Amino acid sequence: MYKNKIVRILISIFVFTLFLNVDLIVSQNSIYQSFTENSNEKILPPPILPNMILEEAIFMRKSVRVFSENEVTDEELSTILWAAYGFRSDGRRTVHPIDGVYAAVIYVFNESGVYRYNPINHSLILYKEGDMRDKIDILQYNAPIQLGLCWDSTKADPNLGGAELGQVGQNIHFMAVALGLGTVVTGQSPAAIAPVGLPKNEEGLILMPLGHPKDDYDFTYRPLWFSFLPKIKHSKITVSDAINQRLNGTEFLGKLTRQELSQIIWSSYGFSYYIDNILGPSNLVLRHRTVPSAHGYYPLCMYICIESGVYKYIGGLPNCDLWGLPIFSFLLRLNAEDVRQSIAQACNKSEISTASMFIVSILDLEATRKWDDLSNESLWRFWYYEAGASAHNVQLEATAWNLSSTILVPKDVSLIRSSLNLDNRYFPLLVVPVGKN
């Protein structure tokens, strides 16, 4: 009798384990071997996982708008989609769930139809048959693939949807660079993807064309001329591993070194050490930043809160430069107060007050009113996109230095404003505590 019982228990454990394998995607092999194709679902091949070093991918991030006709292979698309929103080998996702929510949905447009990316089994599910790339948005850039980034409005509001998609878009950017592909974030309101007819609970935000750049990447290495912060170093981690191993934590100890501070702060909003030669032999110098920005406005200010005080990050001074080169990068000390406890309290997370550093992304509304006024609250989702992209960079860069971090939404905006001495012109978007585990 006992023997039978043991056999029954063993069989139950076996069946349960099989179920877990399918449901939680415990190992990468199980992703691809547990499912068979049916006519509406195409299982993607395993991602390629390129070995470009993380900082190199950040240095090379740029918007590519003109593409060759060379096709994007299934392996390349698989890699991009895995990085964008897939499951990692430990069963977690490649981006952080802000407020514990995953709301993103990705649509893939190619010459044969529109597909929905299914991260659970890393597949594409047919959504609409036929080439619809011309139906979406008159402003789109022609490319073999268009990626439609949407969010489920029953799970997240437009701003948090935007912040999550900012993380997704960064991974697409970095993986594209590592694979020799190109992409650009494009955002319109109303959403460019709308003509496709999304389910009622989904809203579109971003369209990213994906293909091989018509012009090769062509950069010259020229570090910032002068910086009060230690020079940015290449870590040893690849962009694939940084995404696969992104450290998340809410309990912190110890202090960061100056090098670690410099690396992480730079990743949030700094300039590349590469000059883009795409402008040819002109006097103009093009240097990209670590994140893209709608209209190139870059209206965020990164406030750095550490034990010794509150600082504003100046990634470069484009108006005080030589041939367009940002030559200074430094931390501008605003006061000598340790406000980390107040910032943690404003996020309803007093347990994180021991983090060595908080990076608070602040939207400067004046900087969103230039040749086109993008200050309206209905457009803030695009600024949250940028803040999400920046926060994700910080998480990846922190991982490269074996540090952990998390992404929080301020619950008490007034407390953040009073702690940082800001008036109503400024609005805090996201808070990223960083520290040692």
Ligand X SMILES: Cc1cc2nc3c(=O)[nH]c(=O)nc-3n(C[C@H](O)[C@H](O)[C@H](O)COP(=O)(O)O)c2cc1C
Among 100, 280, 281, 296, binds ligand X (CB under 6 A): 296
158 near ligand X, rule: CB under 6 A: no
Among 288, 392, 417, 436, binds ligand X (CB under 6 A): 288
Chain-centre distance for alpha carbon 343:
23
Kindly report the number of other CB atoms within 10 A of residue 39's CB atom: 6
**Residue count at the site for ligand X (CB under 6 A)?**
17
For residues 159 and 188, which CB has a smaller minimum distance to ligand X in the complex? 188
Among 294, 400, 403, 434, binds ligand X (CB under 6 A): 294
385 near ligand X, rule: CB under 6 A: yes
386 near ligand X, rule: CB under 6 A: yes
Q: Is residue 277 within a helix (H) or strand (E), and if so which, with residue range?
A: none
Among 30, 34, 63, 153, binds ligand X (CB under 6 A): 63
For residues 82 and 384, which CB has a smaller minimum distance to ligand X in the complex? 384
Q: Is residue 328 within a helix (H) or strand (E), and if so which, with residue range?
A: strand 328-335
Whose CB is nearest to ligand X?
292
C-beta of 274: minimal distance to ligand X in Å? 11
265 near ligand X, rule: CB under 6 A: no
Report d(CA 174, CA 100) in Å as an integer. 24
Nearest to 387 by CA among 186, 63, 98, 102: 98
Nearest to 395 by CA among 148, 230, 164: 164
For residues 309 and 324, which CB has a smaller minimum distance to ligand X in the complex? 324
Nearest to 30 by CA among 39, 38, 21: 21
Contact 293, 319 (CB under 8 A): no
For residues 84 and 184, which CB has a smaller minimum distance to ligand X in the complex? 184
Q: Is residue 341 within a helix (H) or strand (E), and if so which, with residue range?
A: helix 340-346
Report d(CA 285, CA 313) in Å as an integer. 22
For residues 64 and 359, which CB has a smaller minimum distance to ligand X in the complex? 64
Footprint of ligand X on residues 183-202 (CB under 6 A)?
184-188
- Taking CB under 6 A as the binding criterion, the range among 20-28, 285-293, 307-315, 358-366 that sits at the site for ligand X is 285-293
293 near ligand X, rule: CB under 6 A: yes
Parallel/antiparallel/unpaired status of strands 328-335 and 226-227: parallel
Q: Is the peptide bond before 158 cis (omega within 30 degrees of 0)?
A: no
Contact 220, 32 (CB under 8 A): no
281 near ligand X, rule: CB under 6 A: no
For residues 163 and 407, which CB has a smaller minimum distance to ligand X in the complex? 163
- Taking CB under 6 A as the binding criterion, the range among 94-102, 226-234, 310-318, 382-390 that sits at the site for ligand X is 382-390
Nearest to 240 by CA among 378, 56, 380: 56
Report d(CA 433, CA 299) in Å as an integer. 21
- Taking CB under 6 A as the binding criterion, the range among 42-50, 59-67, 344-352, 353-361 that sits at the site for ligand X is 59-67
* Residue numbers at the binding site for ligand X (CB under 6 A): 62-63, 65, 184-188, 288-289, 292-294, 296, 382, 385-386
